[in-house]
Amino acid sequence: MKIGFISLGCSKNLVDTEMMIGLFKQHKFEIVNDPSKAEIILINTCGFIRKCKRRSN
């Protein structure tokens, strides 16, 4: 299955997203950079930052 990731927010979100990517790779998922090629897109965002809340809607 092809998975795409979008990380919004602070650098902690980016680190968390990178950790998730590693876990998905371990379980043989294909990671894609182009959202149009993904079967699933995971969005990691911060609920405390207003700008990220708006971007995730």
The residue ranking higher by pLDDT, 44 or 50, is 44
Q: Which helix (H) or strand (E) holds 6?
A: strand 2-7
pLDDT at 47: 67
Q: pTM, whole model, 2 decimals?
A: 0.74
Judge whether 44 and 6 are in contact, CB under 8 Å: yes
Domain boundaries, the chain: 2-56
3-state secondary structure of 4: strand
Continuous H helices in the chain: 11-26, 50-56
pLDDT at 6: 92
Count CB neighbours of 25 within 10 A: 12
